[in-house]
Amino acid sequence: MSTPFEHTLRPCPRRERGGIAVIVALSALVLFGFAGLAIDLGRMYVSKTELQTAADACALAAAAELTCNAASGGTCPSSYLQNAEAAGIFAASRNRVEFQSQQISVNSGDVKFSTALAPNSSYLSRTNGASTQSRYVMCTARLTGLTPWFMALLGIGAQNIEATGVATLAPAYSMCPTAPIGICNKAGGYAAGEWITSNFTSNSADEDALSGSFRWVDYTPDTSGNQEIRDHLAGGAPVCGVKVGDKIRLPGTQQGAKSGYNTRFGIYPNNNAYNESSSPPDRTGYAYPNKNPGAGFSEINIGVSAYNDYLNRQAVGAPFNNSQYAGTGNVSGRTLLSSQHLSLGSDRRLVTAALINCSAGSEVVIEDMACVLMLNPMSNGANGTIYLEYRGLANTPGSPCRTGGLPGGPLASGPPVPTLVQ
C-alpha cells in the first residue's frame, strides 16, 4: 500500500536531463571561449615574434652602415644615414608576418637614429634631424588592423602589433675579415692618413704577386686554393671565425687576384667572370692619386689623405674615370655608372686587414687588425703600384671599418660587428 508522500519523493528524469543539457551548453560555451581566446592570443604572439625578427634584421643591417667617423678626419655626408636606412628597410622586407602570409613593410620613419643608447623617444628619423654621427639605430616593424577570429564575437576590435629592435657596432670576439690583405707592421706604427704602398707583378698565367708594405694573406691555409684570394676579393668566398693570434699564410702569387681586386672599384673583366650582382662594388670607384678632379673637389696627390674626398665621392656615386686617375698605366674592364654605384654599392673599399710581421716567413700570426682604404685599382700590364690609406686600428671606437662575426663581451677587442643591444 502506498503512502500519501510516495509520489512526491519520486525523481523527475526529464527535468534532470534538461538541466544537464543547459550545464553542458554553458560549459561548452566557456570552453570554446577560452579556446578562441587562446587561438587569438597565440596568433598575436606569433605575429609579434615575426615582427621582432624583421625589426632585429632591420636594425642589424642598418647598424652595419654606421661606419662614417668624422672624428677620424672626414665629414659624414647626408647619404650616410640614407644608406643605413635603405639597408634596414631592405632587410626587413625579406621577412613575412601572419604565419608568413604577408610581407613586412618598414617605412623611412620606422628607422631612427641616435648618437647614444637612449629611450625610444630620443631617436630621430633621417628626415627629422638625425645626426650623421649616430651610432645606434632603432627599427620598428608594425602590423595594423589585425582582426581577431574569435574575440571579435565579444566585441574586441582590430589590434595593432609592433616590435622594436636597437643595434649598434660593437667589438667582435671573432671576425670575418673583409679583404685578404696583410699590412706589414713597422716600428712606431702607421699614422692615420698615411699611404701604404705595394708593387704587383703579373705573369702570363694570370698570377698576381705583391711585394712591399702589404701582401696577400690566406686566412684558411688548411683549405687553400689557387683562386681563394681572388674569390675573397670579389666577395664570393667570405672567411669567418678569425681571431687576433691566429696563424695565417702568405701565399705569394694568386691567380686572378687583379680581376677580383678591381670589382671593388666597379671595374669588371670583359670575360664576364664577375658582374655587379655577384661582386657588388663600392659606392664609388673613384681612384687616387687623381688629376682634373672636377668642380668642387680637390686634387689628391700621393701621400695626401683621400678619406674625406672619398666620402664625398661616395655620396654622389662617382665612378672610376681613367682620364681623372693619375696612376701609371691604364685600367681595363667594364665600368659602372654613378647610378649603379649608388644602387648596388656598399662600403667595399674600407676594409679590415691583418697587421703582420712580413719578415717572419710564409706563416705569420695576426698581431692586430687595421682599417685601410683601398685607393686605386690594379692597372694593366705585368707590373704596377697599388696604394692603401691607413685609417687606424679596426677596433678603435668610431673606426670607419666594420666586419661580420660574433660579437663579444666587455673584453672583446676585434673590429666592430653589428650587435643587438635592445
Cα 416 to Cα 347: distance, rounded to the nearest angstrom? 14
Q: Starting from the edge strand earliest in sequence, which strands make up the sheet with 368-374, in order?
A: 214-216, 181-184, 350-356, 368-374, 383-393, 195-202, 207-212, 254-255
Buried b (16+ CB within 10 A) or exposed e, 286-307: bbbbbeebeeebeebeeeebbb
Q: What is the pLDDT confidence band of residue 8, given thresholds at 50, 70 and 90? A: low
Task: Tell me how far CA of residue 111 lies from CA of 55, 87, 105, 123, in angstroms.
Answer: 9, 10, 12, 9
Asked if 59 and 89 count as a contact pair (C-beta separation under 8 A), the reply is no
User: Which of these ranges, 74-78, 117-121, 417-421, has the smallest mean pLDDT?
Assistant: 74-78
Give me the mean pLDDT over the 309-316 stretch.
92
Least confident range of 68-72, 132-136, 154-158, 411-415: 68-72
* Residue in the structure block whose three cell numbers are 527535468: 15
Residue 66 has pLDDT above 70, yes or no: yes
Q: What is the pLDDT of residue 284?
A: 96
Residue ranges of E strands in 194-266 = 195-202, 207-212, 214-216, 247-249, 254-255
Closest CA to 85 of 69, 104, 66, 102: 66
pTM of the complete model: 0.78
User: 3-state DSSP call for residue 403?
Assistant: coil
- The answer to whether residue 402 scores a pLDDT higher than 90 is no
C-alpha cell at 317: 656615386
Q: Measuring CA to CA, how many Å separate 282 from each of 192, 313, 318, 319, 345?
A: 21, 11, 10, 10, 5
Give CA–CA dist 421/139, Å, rounded.
12
Q: What tens digit of pLDDT does each residue of 92-142 get?
A: 999 999 888 888 989 999 999 999 998 888 999 999 999 988 989 999 999
pLDDT at 225: 63
401 — pLDDT class (breaks 50, 70, 90): confident
Q: What is the per-residue pLDDT across 79-92, written as a single tens digit (0 to 9) for each?
A: 889 889 999 999 99
pLDDT digits (tens, 9 = 90+) for 170-185: 888 888 889 999 999 9
Top-confidence range, 5-14, 67-76, 290-299: 290-299
Residue 27 CA: distances (Å) to CA of 15, 95, 153, 292: 18, 41, 17, 86
pLDDT band, very low/low/confident/very high, at 358 (cuts 50, 70, 90): very high
- Prior bond of 221 cis (ω within 30°): no
**What is residue 224's predicted lDDT score, i.e. its pLDDT?**
59
pLDDT of residue 65 exceeding 70: yes
Q: Assess contact for 65 and 91: CB atoms under 8 A.
A: no
Tally the C-alpha atoms within 13 A of residue 237's C-alpha that lie toward its C-beta. 18
pLDDT reported for residue 411: 65
Average pLDDT of the chain? 86
The letter for the amino acid at 290 is N
pLDDT score for 159: 86
Q: Residue 370 is placed in which grid cell? A: 687595421
CB 217 within 8 A of CB 182: yes
